[in-house]
Every structure is written in structure tokens, then in C-alpha cells.
Structure 1
């Protein structure tokens, strides 16, 4: 068994893996500045162009749990490198696209590479000293926020001053750089890979259910929530998930070990993750619109796309700044406390937004996003620690990938719910229907409620006594006990 890396070298490894997370986050936000221009750029309808975003969401959701299981079976470093191949290829395809079909295909390929974050977090458990693990997980988790923060102004600046194709060439180059660094500088996993074969039927079943669910959630507003297509997809998702669950419990080497996932600590953490994912995404839908709507509305701030991205950037960077503090809190009080505190801070951030929406000040909205993302930074660093403190070492990547999937589902549901609220509560502005001030208030109130609900769920997580102090050493010990119980 390989020993964890020395502290100096492990710092470099954490930096490389965090860089990988930043590139993944940039990839996800890459097309946001292009949304309004995509129909013209690709000579297609707005409805067809929306698949450029939906394709990445679906591919990432289907691939993440599969990449986690393969990481446990064949090595997390190997799957990290493998995941970067479609990310690079998809970026090149998008850069060369002149129509909607190859663009959707390229974005789908990019989505196949989104497993790098949970794989990177899981790899930390094998290559970082135990005393550095908590802070390393927090930094890696925060990389998604940093990537999102940098991605918006970066993409907006390039889109406004150069060809949109440059965006994808830059991402391809960044992903290639990440792969090179991992190849030469990141050590391999410990010899604790999961045994057994790959559950192909389980992967197909889960993928099919997720496609049905996320298609219904992401396209329901366009198709109509009461339409036969939307309701049929929701029904199909439920039926396929039930059959998939029966199958996973029946076989000896499942894609997702539902018995481990059903352990109270894992189950409650995943439930909190859905709520945190919802709360995290709601403000990222509301604040950019408030910043960009015309000042004549009385509540819009009339900022350009680039200015909006720059105003949003400090909030994402705050996640990285606060991650060491969250790690220290986890070490002192346990990651359960950190998750509950983070969720509470998110709720407070939404709460203070209610009187500030019509303030006419960009600084007030900046304060809201900084408070919310401080909470997200605490929460995102705590969730992998809770998961890894309750699962066998051989299932780390699979369990973390499933947790990432739960956050993604929360974000997708948030997009649908907030989208409906803002679409229903509108005001007429020069013949155009824009989200009303009341609509934004209700959206933020929903975010506040969900954040507080996440805090309640987090406070109820039954953490094992051995892992309660929150130290990475005790988490390792708890996970080994869990592994013995599973084998028994």
C-alpha cells in the first residue's frame, strides 16, 4: 500500500486537483454569456439552442456515478485522466461547430468529464496525510465556486471582445494542462480498489431514470408542466428508479451500494446535499438578472454581462477563502456542525437579501452573494468529509460521486422552481414581460426556507461516535469499522 505523500508534495497535489475542479466549473458556465446569441450563432431556434446547456447537464448526471464506481474499481487517478479525454474532445468539437447538432454533441462530451471533482476529492483520501485531509477536501470542494466565479467574467470578456470559439479552445488547453500535471505529478491510488465486476445494467437503469427526471425538470417549463410528455417522463423516472433499486439490492457488485447509501449518516447527508444544491443555485439565478435588468424597472441595476460577472466573482472566491476556516471548524466540532452552520449562513444570506432587492445598490447584492457563498463553502467542504467518514475506503469515489449527483439534482430542481416563479410573476416593461420585483423576493424567500431546512436536516445527521470529533484520523477509523461491518 502506498503511503500518503509528504506534506510539501501533497500541497502540490491538492493544488493540481483543485485546478482540475476549477476547469470543470469553468466548462459548466462557459456558454452562459452566449445564451441569447446561440440561436443566431448556430442558425437555430431558441428551444433547440437550449439543448446546448441541457446536454451537458444530462451527460454529467449520467456519467458521475459511473465514473465513481469505475474509479473505485480501476483507480481514481486513472479515471481522472480518462474523464479529461471527452472534456478535451468536446471542447474541440464545440470550437469547430457551426450548427446546433455538433455543438450539442460537443457539450455532451464535455459533460462526460464532470466526474473529475468527486474523483479528485476521493483521491485525496489516498494521497494526502490524514492531518491535511480535512483542509484539502475543503479546498477541492471550493474549487467549483472559484471556477464559477472566474468562468462568468472570463467567458463574458472573450465573448464581447473576441470570437466565441476562443472560449472552447481555451478550455481544451486548460484541460490538457490539467491532464499533463496529473500524469506527471499526481501519484496513484492505494491498493484498495473495489472488487467485482461493473454493473452495466445498473448504469443503464440509473442513466435512463436520470435522463427522464432531469429532462422533465429542465424542459418542463417549455413543454408545459401538465403536458403528457412532462408527466410521462416523471412517471418513467419513478418506475425505472424503483426497478433499478430492486436490481441494485439483488446483485453482489452494484453500481451504487444502496445498503451503504441507506446508512443514516450517508442518507441524511445526501438529503441535506439536495437542499444545499437547491439553495446554492437559486441566488445564482436571481442576482445576475437583478444586476442586468434596466434601471428603469426600479429594481434592476443595468449592468453589462462583463460587469455582472465581475460583481459575481468575489462571492465565488469567498468559497476558497473560507474553506480553511470551515476545515478548522470540522476538525474542532465535526463536519456535521460545519454543514449545519454553512446551511444556516446560506439561509441568513437569503434573508438579508429581502430588504436589499430594491436598494439600487450593486454593493448590497455583492454582500448577499458573499454571505450565501460563505455558507456554501462551509457546506461543500463538510459533505465529502461526512460521506467518507461513513463508507468503506473501497467505495469512496462511488459514494462521493453519488453525493455530487444529489447536489446536481437539487440544482436542477432549483432551476425549475425558480424559473417557474420568475416566469409567473412578471411585469410589463415596454411590451416585454420581465420578472417582477415581487417575483425576485419570493424566489429569495424560497431560497431562505430551503437553506434553513438544510440546516435542520444537517443537525439531525446521526454521526458515528468515533467520527464525531471531526478529525480526519477519526473519520478514517470510522470508515474502516464501516468496511468491516459491510463485509460481515
Structure 2
């Protein structure tokens, strides 16, 4: 239950958790300016260099929900500090890397620390006064977008004018600073699920299923969607999740409480999260390429990586500006309204992008609209989750919701990547994605944002006493849950 208004000042806590989110986002965007040069820098092939991205995706997908559950069991502050360690170590390993293997190891370690975001959001429920909780959740949730928007141009500038290793040394220093702030400013809160056991078998099953699914989604285009490897991984994922789901449903203290996850309010929020993640990432693939494509194509704007990052920077800043407004809207009308509004604003941003794609100013304005929608939606989704799940499951539930968003971005990257790869034009002996390909990707993003709004419209209203766990602090006993099912 959130603290009463007489609790100590929560500003430093929220600022620390928001900076932790920004740090995690910076880790994800750090290598974007280096992608084209990684094969040369690491003396490897382009396919091997792609694992620098894939490794972080795979490890984060597995570790985020596990970190959330461990936060419920051991304490969220302790797990926030634990997540900071691999962020620092992974950054140092990348900074010192002299080959692709070391770089992949370092990026994998950075993925271990990505659980900071859901842990931080779950912690807010324990330490922030009720009247400030919605706006605090919105700000910390939006920090991923803020970090991405700010981190991309900074990383591009450093990569262009200094050594690429400086990027990772800076990331290590930032993660270390966050660790110190967490240690000094975040209060110790008793673990809500203290005494319960950790579901090791459930964690193993989830890891096998997620790695199989994410590998198939992220590498399917390279291996061939009909190849034996890709189809085998998809099959393994389906079988593993079926067995895992049956086990989790029957076990007494599961890694992910599927009974809670199956509640309409949680289930529909997670489905909307997948579509929002997909919708957000579609723009991140399209807009930078439109900005950087040669003007000779007739639709490219010929910007450098640094200039493209600067054109996209206001979009990241808009997330910072809009997130407090999302918190106020949630307080006034509820998180369901905020989620619907966010999805509709995201769709409006895609429409603006379709209409204004001919100029850098137009793309900048469209990104500002789209990121405003993402800020509203990302702030609403954890609020919806935490208004439904018991206190003993906030870390795990937020970790699972973060996983749903991540799955959305992974699937979005795969689907949009196929569209952009298939709809091409040839010019001067070079193959480019056609203008029709980019427009198709934007239309897909718009449709999925509208679909997310439609799903959110069916979210059931909470009970009057159900806000942020006041009526859900008690998990059902197994006998009660069995009877209910």
C-alpha cells in the first residue's frame, strides 16, 4: 500500500529511479551508432556483429521477470543494487573488448541489469505517497524513452568525434553513479514475499521458452523464416511454454502467478503492452532511415547519424514533459483512460509521419507526437498492473509486463524488418527500401496503435477500493484459487 502523505520526501527516490531507467535505456541505444562499423572494429563478420544486439535482447528477456520476482522475495532495493553490478561490469568489459566474443559477453551482462525499470516501478508502490504515485510511475516508466531519445545523439556524437570505447567507459561511470544513489537514497523496504521460495524450475522453463522464441523472432530473417532452425525454435518455444504454463498453474509459489496474469485487467493490459511496444519500435526503425537515406532516392533527407539523432532528440524530451501530465490524467480519470489516450496519440503521430515525412521538421514533429503517446501509455500500464496484483507480486508482475513490451518491440523489429527488406528499389547499383515500404511500415504502426486502444477500451473498471493494491494485498490461497477456477 502506498505511503500516506506524511511520509518523507519522495523526490530523491523518484529522481534516482528515473535516472536508473535512463541508464538502462542508454545501455540499449549505446551501440546503435556503431552498428555499421562493428565488423571492422571487432574484426568479424556482419552476422557475428549482430549478436552484439541479440545478446542483450535475449539476456534481458530472461532476466527481467526473474529480477522482478527476486525483488518480491529478497527486497527491491537489494535487487536494484544487484542489477547495477552487471551494468557496470558489462560496460567495462565492452570498453576493453578486443574481439566480438568479449563484446557479446559484455552486452549480455548489460542485459542482466535491465530489470532496473520494473523493479523501480514496483518499488514506487512501497515508498511514494498515494497522491504522488501516478505521476511518479509515469515518469519512471517514460525514462526508457527519455534515455533512448537523449542517448542516441550523445552516442552518435561521441562515436563520430572520439573513441568508441569512451561510450562504454561513460556508461560504466553512469551505472556506478546510479548504484551509489540507490545505496544512499533508496530506503530499505521489507520484502513483500519474504519467506516464499524461488521457483527455480519455473525460471528455467521461462528461460528456455523465451530464448527459443526471441532467437527465432530476431534471427529468423537471417536464417530464413522457413528454415529448420527457425521452425524448430518456434516449435520448442510453443512446447516449452505449454509445459511451463501447466507447471506454473499448479505450483504453490510460482515465478509468474498465471491466475493473477489471467485476470482480465492484467491480461488485456499485457496484450495492449505488446501492441504498444510494436507500435513504438516501428517508428524507431523507420524515422532514422528516412532522415539518413540519400536525397537522390527522392524521399531520403541525407542527414548524418548525429544530425538524425538531434532531430529525434525533441521526441525524447517530450516524453519527459508529457509523463507528469499522464500522471495527472490517471489521477483524474484512471489509468484506463490514460492508456487509451496514449494509444490514440501514438496513432495520430503515425498519421502525422505519413503526411509530413518529406521534411526533417515534419519528422521531428511526428516523433514528438508519437513519443507523447508512448509516454502516456507507458505510464498507464504499470498503474493498471499495480491496481490489480497483490503487493507480494508487484515486482514479478511489472517484470512480466516489461517482458510483454519487449516482446512487442522484438516482434515489431522482425515484422517491420521483413517489410522494409521486401519492398525495395534499386538506384545506382544499390538496393534501398522503397518509399512504399516505409509508408507500409508506418501504416502497420498506426493500425497496431489503434488496436491497442481498442483492447484498452475493454479493460474492466476496478472496484472502488482496488487502487494500487488496497484490496489486493492478499493472494488467494491455493484452495480458494482452485475453487475459483
**Same fold at TM > 0.5:** yes
- Map 1:19-58 onto structure 2 (within 5 A): 19-58=19-58
Residues 156-194 of structure 1: CA distance to partner in whole angstroms, max 9, x if unpaired?
011011110000000000000000011011101245234
- The offset of 1:3, in angstroms, is 5.5
Q: Report the Cα distance in structure 1 between the residues aligned to 2:345 and 2:291, rounded to whole angstroms.
A: 22
Contact 1:59–1:112 under 8 Å retained in 2: yes
Count of paired positions: 480
- Which residue of 363, 384, 387 corresponds with 1:386? 384
Matched, 1:479 2:469: no
Q: Report the Cα distance in structure 1 between the residues aligned to 2:384 and 2:195, rounded to whole angstroms.
A: 24
Partner of 1:448: 446
Residues 232-276 of structure 1: CA distance to partner in whole angstroms, max 9, x if unpaired?
111110000001101111211111000111111000100000000
- Which residue of 419, 422, 425 corresponds with 2:423? 425
- Map 1:57-456 onto structure 2 (within 5 A): 57-357=57-357, 359=358, 361-456=359-454
Cα RMSD of the aligned pairs, angstroms, is 1.6
SS at match of 1:406: helix
- The offset of 1:484, in angstroms, is 5.8
Q: Report the Cα distance in structure 1 between the residues aligned to 2:430 and 2:84, rounded to whole angstroms.
A: 42
Distance 1:270 1:3, change over 3 A: closer
Partner of 1:471: none
Residues 303-336 of structure 1: CA distance to partner in whole angstroms, max 9, x if unpaired?
0111111111110111110011111111111100
Contact 2:252–2:478 under 8 Å retained in 1: no
SS at match of 1:427: strand
Distance 1:467 1:284, change over 3 A: farther
- The offset of 1:465, in angstroms, is 2.6
Contact 1:270–1:403 under 8 Å retained in 2: yes
Q: Report the Cα distance in structure 1 between the residues aligned to 2:352 and 2:317, rounded to whole angstroms.
A: 20
SS at match of 2:431: strand
Unaligned runs of 5+ in 2: 481-485
- The offset of 1:20, in angstroms, is 0.4
SS at match of 1:197: coil
When normalised by structure 1's length, the TM-score is: 0.96
Q: Report the Cα distance in structure 1 between the residues aligned to 2:214 and 2:341, rounded to whole angstroms.
A: 29
- The offset of 1:442, in angstroms, is 0.3
When normalised by structure 2's length, the TM-score is: 0.96
Partner of 1:463: 461
Distance 1:423 1:85, change over 3 A: same
- The offset of 1:485, in angstroms, is 7.6
Distance 1:454 1:374, change over 3 A: same
Residues 354-381 of structure 1: CA distance to partner in whole angstroms, max 9, x if unpaired?
2323x2x101001111111111000000
- The offset of 1:352, in angstroms, is 2.2
Q: Report the Cα distance in structure 1 between the residues aligned to 2:270 and 2:470, rounded to whole angstroms.
A: 21
Q: Report the Cα distance in structure 1 between the residues aligned to 2:103 and 2:81, rounded to whole angstroms.
A: 23
SS at match of 1:434: strand
Contact 1:4–1:126 under 8 Å retained in 2: no
Contact 2:72–2:191 under 8 Å retained in 1: no
Unaligned runs of 5+ in 1: 469-473
Q: Report the Cα distance in structure 2 between the residues aligned to 1:397 and 1:75, rounded to whole angstroms.
A: 9
Q: Report the Cα distance in structure 2 between the residues aligned to 1:231 and 1:129, rounded to whole angstroms.
A: 49
- The offset of 1:196, in angstroms, is 1.7
Distance 1:65 1:407, change over 3 A: same
Residues 185-239 of structure 1: CA distance to partner in whole angstroms, max 9, x if unpaired?
1101245234421111111110111001010110011001111111111111000
- The offset of 1:7, in angstroms, is 6.4
Q: Report the Cα distance in structure 2 between the residues aligned to 1:264 and 1:485, rounded to whole angstroms.
A: 20
The worse-fitting range, judged by mean Cα deviation, of 73-82 and 346-355 is 346-355
